[in-house]
Amino acid sequence: MTTQTLAPKLVRKFVAQYFEATRSNNAQEWASRFANNAIVEDPVGTTPINNSKQILELGKAFMSGFENVGLHEEFVHVIGNDAAARWTGRGLTKEGKQVRFEGINIFNFNSDGKIVNLKGYWSPDEMIEESN
């Protein structure tokens, strides 16, 4: 099956929609950005997941540790249907701590704008508590 090559502007739009979904505090909204058979390794080094149910559960598990959380894209580079994005995450934990964390995501999109492959390069162990 051949996938149609998307215009860079469109891929940037899909990347922006993904990051908007990370800030929604809604795991279903986040999971809706993925194709049904997407492969997600987030963070890289963990066991890849590859179905909608697991993707939704990943989103729920991550968001459950926060009162609010979101990723903010800082740099996006697009080639074909692939994109690399550097981001900063910010959140308020259930314990009331402000945290910051950084990473890079590598995306591959299908012609419908759904993510078919995502690799997240970041470490939960590197979250930095910020002063208020």
Is 132 a residue whose pLDDT tops 60? no
Strands (E), 9-127: 34-41, 66-79, 82-93, 98-109, 115-121
pLDDT recorded at residue 66: 95
pLDDT recorded at residue 131: 58
DSSP state of 51: S
Is 31 a residue whose pLDDT tops 90? yes
Q: How far apart are CA 123 and CA 125, in angstroms?
A: 5
Is 69 a residue whose pLDDT tops 90? yes
Fold adopted by 8-119:
Nuclear Transport Factor 2; Chain: A, (3.10.450)
- At 74-131, the pLDDT tens digits run 999 999 999 999 999 999 999 999 999 999 999 999 999 999 999 999 998 888 887 5
**SS3 at position 80:** coil
